[in-house]
Chains A and B, each alone.
Chain A
């Protein structure tokens, strides 16, 4: 019996040690998906044959006495914007459904395979990644495993629900404006948006080339580190990837955080949300024994600039379909993209200049501190179909507001690890641990320390259909 809450590292240890075959682990994951996904709607494709073939290859390698990879036999799944050889890359869009299957795996899927992991399928998402709730007109809503009436977040909603629902111990998603951190917060998971340019995006369906990131979800800091480490590596096929050697973080899980300077972001990050978001930050700050605050100036302008760059670049990518078949988009996505195609150029260029400005301001702050704390979302999971929410006395649209704290940070490419706080009787909510560019290492040290102290944790729920 392979339990649904068995994590990445524990699964790999079990398979490497001969406690279970990779085939048994894969079958158990496929059984959990068959039993649980009717409720969650996280998967759009289940790659059972591939999973069993990859698992059999691991078992054969073990039988030959070969060394197994760090993720040997670990089941996982990917947001359906990752290329998976033999299936069509949907990117959440009905428009893509008739396109030919991908000829080969995307770079990160190849890296995961090389580490010994087992791909179980592709996961639901907002159409073309343009959303925060995974309410998809074509492929249906993803349900939050902790309360199926609520959103799992988006746009990587399937990636979060599959892990929080215990169908797989880890998944990959993408984050342009918060699409890993928002669902990690709403589903109570650990999620990493690495530094912009860290992980190759080649072989994934783009959204906004100048803002797109890929990254993992998992249920512990060590598991997240194991998957992130497997994904690192140079890839000439992504022109935006930085020329840096891998910097593994798994050895840092459990390392001391003595001397790490932590502060809470104020101003923009201390308003625009519900009390529960600020309470979560205060809990983490208290555990880290910091009362210090810092200001990232012009964060609201940075968010606005991210909005405009996203709108314009996203629209440009889809101009042919906006012209030829606008009726085939999800209505919400279509209207946003048509608008983006018409924005004055001066706004978009100024937004890109503001990106440089805001980065410089953030770098000034990182001369004084190592980690900044901010809410991941302004509230915990809203109900599916919920249109508005009250914030600071105003009634506002619930969906775009979910990115209010994530957008300014991804806009300048800072690495962020979203950590989950569990609250008995209430939905989980996340906190962003934010570091200077390329300093993912400190985030994993702090996340693991918080986890060891019982401040943050992830757990599996799976409602019965």
Chain B
């Protein structure tokens, strides 16, 4: 097992994600209807907990993302 690298930024689960949801939705051009906003914010709070677990495990630089793109051969 290769030694882990330095710590990654880890989201603080105490942070209220509402402002982020609003800003990210604006940036993405994906409006979130006020009626849906509480549910989206609650999901983002859950995603933050998941991200805290993922970002809490620093990985060696050699660990590449899992999906590998393989260009096919062109046959004529």
Is there an interface contact between B63 and A356, defined as CB atoms closer than 8 Å? yes
Is there an interface contact between B66 and A352, defined as CB atoms closer than 8 Å? yes
Is there an interface contact between A356 and B28, defined as CB atoms closer than 8 Å? no
Identify 24 residue pairs between A and B in the complex whose beta-carbon atoms are under 8 Å apart, listed by A's number: A210-B66, A210-B67, A298-B57, A300-B53, A301-B57, A304-B54, A305-B50, A305-B54, A308-B47, A331-B36, A335-B39, A335-B40, A335-B42, A338-B30, A338-B39, A339-B21, A341-B28, A342-B40, A347-B54, A353-B59, A354-B54, A354-B57, A357-B57, A359-B66
Given A322-B30, A342-B28, CB of A308 within 8 Å of CB of B40: no
Residues from chain B with Cβ under 8 Å of A343 in the complex: 47
Q: B: which residues have CB within 8 A of A?
A: 1, 8-9, 20-21, 24-25, 28-33, 36, 39-40, 42-44, 47, 49-51, 53-57, 59, 63-67
Counting chain A CB atoms within 10 Å of each CB, which of B39, B49, B53, B54 scores highest? Answer: B54
Is there an interface contact between A308 and B25, defined as CB atoms closer than 8 Å? no
State how many angstroms separate the Cβ of B13 from the closest Cβ of chain A: 12
Q: 12 extra interchain contacts, Cβ-Cβ under 8 A, other than A308-B50, A319-B30?
A: A298-B57, A301-B54, A308-B54, A322-B30, A346-B9, A350-B59, A354-B59, A355-B65, A356-B66, A357-B59, A359-B66, A360-B63
Given A322-B30, A351-B54, A357-B59, CB of A336 within 8 Å of CB of B66: no
State how many angstroms separate the Cβ of A356 from the closest Cβ of chain B: 5
Pick from B24, B30, B67: contact of A352, CB under 8 Å:
B67
Is there an interface contact between B36 and A335, defined as CB atoms closer than 8 Å? yes
Contact with B along A340-380 (1 / 0, CB 8 A): 11111011011111111101110010000000000000000
Contact with B along A300-342 (1 / 0, CB 8 A): 1100110110010000000100110011000110111011111
Pick from A308, A322, A347, A356: contact of B64, CB under 8 Å:
A356
Q: Complex: how many Å from CA A356 to CA B63? A: 7
Q: Complex: how many Å from CA A343 to CA B17? A: 11
Q: Complex: how many Å from CA A270 to CA B39? A: 31
Given A342-B25, A356-B64, A356-B65, CB of A301 within 8 Å of CB of B43: no
Counting chain B CB atoms within 10 Å of each CB, which of A298, A323, A347, A359 scores highest? Answer: A347
Residues from chain A with Cβ under 8 Å of B47 in the complex: 307-308, 311, 339-340, 343, 347
Which residue of A is nearest B62, CB measured? A356
Q: Complex: how many Å from CA A338 to CA B22? A: 11
Pick from A304, A319, A339: contact of B53, CB under 8 Å:
A304
State how many angstroms separate the Cβ of B75 from the closest Cβ of chain A: 12
Q: Complex: how many Å from CA A308 to CA B36? A: 20
Pick from B20, B36, B42, B54: contact of A334, CB under 8 Å:
B36
Residues from chain A with Cβ under 8 Å of B30 in the complex: 319, 322-323, 338, 341-342
Residues from chain B with Cβ under 8 Å of A346 in the complex: 9, 55
Q: Complex: how many Å from CA A300 to CA B53? A: 8
Residues from chain B with Cβ under 8 Å of A364 in the complex: 1
Is there an interface contact between A304 and B51, defined as CB atoms closer than 8 Å? yes
Q: Complex: how many Å from CA A465 to CA B65? A: 50
Is there an interface contact between B50 and A307, defined as CB atoms closer than 8 Å? yes
Given A308-B51, A338-B30, A342-B25, CB of A353 within 8 Å of CB of B65: yes
Q: Complex: how many Å from CA A356 to CA B25? A: 30
State how many angstroms separate the Cβ of A302 from the closest Cβ of chain B: 9
Q: What 8 A-B pairs come out closest when comparing CB atoms?
A: A335-B39, A339-B43, A352-B65, A355-B66, A304-B53, A304-B50, A342-B24, A347-B51
Which residue of B is nearest A338, CB measured? B40
Q: Complex: how many Å from CA A349 to CA B57? A: 13
Residues from chain B with Cβ under 8 Å of A327 in the complex: 33
Is there an interface contact between B65 and A339, defined as CB atoms closer than 8 Å? no
Which residue of B is nearest A210, CB measured? B67
A401-450 contacts to B (CB < 8 Å): 412
Is there an interface contact between B53 and A301, defined as CB atoms closer than 8 Å? yes
State how many angstroms separate the Cβ of A298 from the closest Cβ of chain B: 6
Residues from chain A with Cβ under 8 Å of B40 in the complex: 335, 338-339, 342
Residues from chain A with Cβ under 8 Å of B49 in the complex: 304
State how many angstroms separate the Cβ of A409 from the closest Cβ of chain B: 14
Which residue of A is nearest B52, CB measured? A304
